Amino acid sequence: MAIAQFSLVAFDCPDPRALAAFYGAIIGWEVDRDDGDWVTLRSNGGATLAFQLAPDHVPPVWPSAEHPQQAHIDFDVDDLDVAERDVLALGAVKAEVQPGDGFTVFLDPAGHPFCLVLRD
């Protein structure tokens, strides 16, 4: 049984609108939400790409250990407590910094961040 449903992939960037326009032009998806600091593109199938403002963004260099790729994945869940228990059992680590309500940030076994988000 699955723990969560895939929700979106978010990219840190210095200009969310510009990066959303770039990817929108490539894949033909239109802007679904634009809060300035957070812009999303949604496909007809429900997949979403998001772009969030990161003023101090340092672009990754491929391949490079000093400037690795930067992205995180959100997973929608019905119950944050149950989902937290399940991802911790799989080897995730709860991040020390938790910036908001309605979602929880974790690190995967390789240290990449991902969020469990309480489904609306």
The span from the CA of 86 to the CA of 30, in Å, is 34
Q: Determine, yes or no, domain membership for 54.
A: no
* pLDDT score for 85: 96
**What range defines the domain where residue 75 resides?**
5-49+71-118
**For 33-92, how does the pLDDT look when each residue is reduced to its tens digit (9 = 90+)?**
999 999 999 888 888 999 999 999 888 776 778 877 667 889 999 999 999 999 999 999
Contacts of 80 (CB under 8 A, 6+ apart): 103, 104, 116, 118
Residue 88, domain CATH: 3.10.180.10
Q: What is the pTM of this model?
A: 0.76
Question: Alpha helices, DSSP H only, in 1-120?
Answer: 16-27, 80-89
* pLDDT score for 86: 95
**For 81-104, how does the pLDDT look when each residue is reduced to its tens digit (9 = 90+)?**
999 999 999 999 999 989 888 999
Q: Determine, yes or no, domain membership for 58.
A: no
